[in-house]
Amino acid sequence: MIWWILLAVFLLFGLFPVLLLSGVLYTILLVRTKPTKWDRSCSIPDDEEYRRMFDIGLAWEETYRHRKREVGVTSDGLKLVGEYFDFGGKKAAIIIAGRMESLLYSYYFAEPFRRAGYNVLVIDNRAHGLSEGKISSLGYKEYRDLLAWSRLLHDEIGNDKVFLHGICIGASAALFACVSEDCPDYIEGLCAEGMYVNFYESFRNHMIVDRPTKPRFPIMQMTMLWIRVFSGANVVTDGPLWRIDRLKKPILFLHSRMDQYSSPDKAQELFDKCPSEKRIVWFDKGQHSRIRIINTEAYDEAIVSFLTTL
């Protein structure tokens, strides 16, 4: 009888609170609970640097608005929304933002592709902006959306080649698309800014840097279980590090030595393991996903230079 009592006490005061707290954390991280969550507003409006990136992107869109038209695809039964900027070229780049960001954020990264003669597609990832969906899958399902967008660019709009440019989680999704068995030949390559080895590693670093006094075990581990069950993403033993050895397309790595979330040593590990044509450009300054705002000319030149080799 005592064992049943002890088990009940453990479940009530041990396991249940952990399940509850990790479930709440999972919901905050990856579930769109209302339309205003991950909408098209600036995700960190009080951050001066981030706000500046967002405003520069809006100014870029205003300059080239006459080149823009609304486009859409359906993937996994979800209606997804994007904007296509036609600059008269025969190649197109898809810019894939990370978690919490809409296509308005992606405007900021479009200029080097315009300079290189590429048309530009910015997209609301599933569960973001005006696209349908409630759950983010950290690229594990979103890569199929990128394949659908690529078919639109090639089959319907008439671009000969498609290039993928991903930031953080967007870089992971781009890689997953490029190593997929369904990846078409006309996807010519990708650029990965701040790519992590897996989401667990990145999330752990976020916890260490942003919440150093908060306990991580076992909440963090249980949150990974929620992600596995409800987002369909194995973020502990699967990710870019386990898939990059299947890559056959050219890849450009852009990484900051100041990146605290996708650490430089892990980026080097990804680069070393990659078997395809590859280039890595290091930047001494710039936080995670903020390389370009500190190194605009060098960042853009790295992309333009790489695209000329394709």
User: Do both 134 and 261 map to the same domain?
Assistant: yes
Residue 129: inside a domain: yes
- Report which residue type is found at 151: R
Residue 40: inside a domain: no
Number of structural domains in the chain: 2
The CATH number of whichever domain residue 109 belongs to comes to 3.40.50.1820
CA atoms of 179 and 142, how far apart (whole Å): 13
Q: Which domain holds residue 213?
A: 1-30+203-234
User: Do both 298 and 156 map to the same domain?
Assistant: yes
Residue 37: inside a domain: no
- Using one digit for the tens of pLDDT, what is the confidence trace for 160-196? 999 999 999 999 999 999 999 999 999 999 999 999 9
Peptide bond into 218 cis (omega under 30): yes
Q: How far lies 246's CA from each of 26, 144, 148, 242, 274, in Å?
A: 30, 17, 21, 9, 8
- Using one digit for the tens of pLDDT, what is the confidence trace for 192-224? 999 999 999 999 999 899 887 776 778 888 899
User: Do both 96 and 155 map to the same domain?
Assistant: yes
Contact by Cβ (8 Å): 176, 234: no
CA atoms of 291 and 295, how far apart (whole Å): 6
User: Do both 155 and 296 map to the same domain?
Assistant: yes
> Which pLDDT belongs to residue 23?
86
Please report which confidence band the pLDDT of residue 10 belongs to, taking 50, 70 and 90 as the band edges.
very low
User: Do both 207 and 252 map to the same domain?
Assistant: no
CA atoms of 194 and 292, how far apart (whole Å): 12
Domain ends where: 213, 234, 255?
234
Contact by Cβ (8 Å): 240, 175: yes
CA 196 centroid distance within chain = 10
